[in-house]
Amino acid sequence: MRTQVAVIGAGPAGLLLSYLLHQAGVDAVVLEARDREYVRQRVRAGVCEQPTVELLTEIGLGDRLAREGLPHEGFSLRFDGADHRIALTELTGRAITVYGQQEIVKDLVDAHEERGLPLHFEVSGVSLSDVDTERPVVRYRDASGTLQTLECEAIAGCDGFHGVARPSIPDGVLSVFEREYPFAWLGVLAQTPPSHEELIYTHHERGFALHSMRSPEITRLYLQVDPAEDLAAWSDDRIWSELAQRLAVDGEFTLREGPILDKGITPMRSFVAEPMRHGRLFLAGDAAHIVPPTGAKGMNLAVADVRVLSRALVALLKGDASLAESYSDTCLRRVWRAEHFSWFMTTMLHTDPHADPFARRLQLSQLRYTATSRAAATSLAENYVGLPFGG
């Protein structure tokens, strides 16, 4: 088998890259370890930056997003028992749209299938070789267990933090930067209308909480917990009780409860591997970097990566290697900005069990400044809605 670009991973990064390449006349094959339904249904991020929405609309994948997405022109920042609105659109002229990552994946899977674009699920034993040459090779077993060899001109590793692409780069090539946080998120998906028209980020002495949503009927909520917390210890009643305490505010606010459809605990880390390219192997999305979810940057960074990568690969396959050579540097400028913003939001909003009273007073000072200074609020809003794509 031969193709121009082998794409490892059918998350939003891999699927969007494949679609962009096909629109530019470049052949690509997507390989995914999970089955089709798992890929379409796995619950992930839900906040789309404005540049992400604009790109999806530009390439013809914005119809359902426009119908079902929930545009937000601000969000609430709660602390000291009070609610403070960050007016995103007033401050920046831009907004965010709540539209689940799995919905974007569904749109991309459907677009691939409608156009007959190569998308292979349930592959296993993926290995990469000859990535230092102009003819790298991907070997894998297809859904039937048959060994396949795919020759290509470039490989895009879009297979996440635990995928095979990054480990395929020889030792000593990558520099890794990482930080683990002393807390995790317990996330729940509840069948109940949202309790507020916008997202609520809460700093509370009992720990951080976030009120979000996926649709007018489905609410997404998060609680800060210990990374070693046992999910079995969190009954539905305990979750709702803790959310009510942390989201409480002086004045009128009622937390709407309902059946919990899904729950899980996610540890938090910051991670960057650079460079994001070795030979003809290019890393994108979570394969190259992880951000804590507080800044809502993970999926949006993946979209930014593959927008740059698609252009670099199109040029490379036409004989111009300049964009491929600058791919890593171009992406990393945005990655490190997002890493800093995500770290900033995380450390400002979460209750660090190891922090001393001095650090906690500094945290409250930052929150109060952000809520009362237009300049500070504008800086937060500008990063939150998404900086313009570069490269």
* Catalytic annotation, residues: 72, 201, 293, 297, 384
Q: Which two tokens stand for residue 49?
A: 């930056």
3-state secondary structure 84-116: EEECHHHHHCCCEEECCHHHHHHHHHHHHHHHC
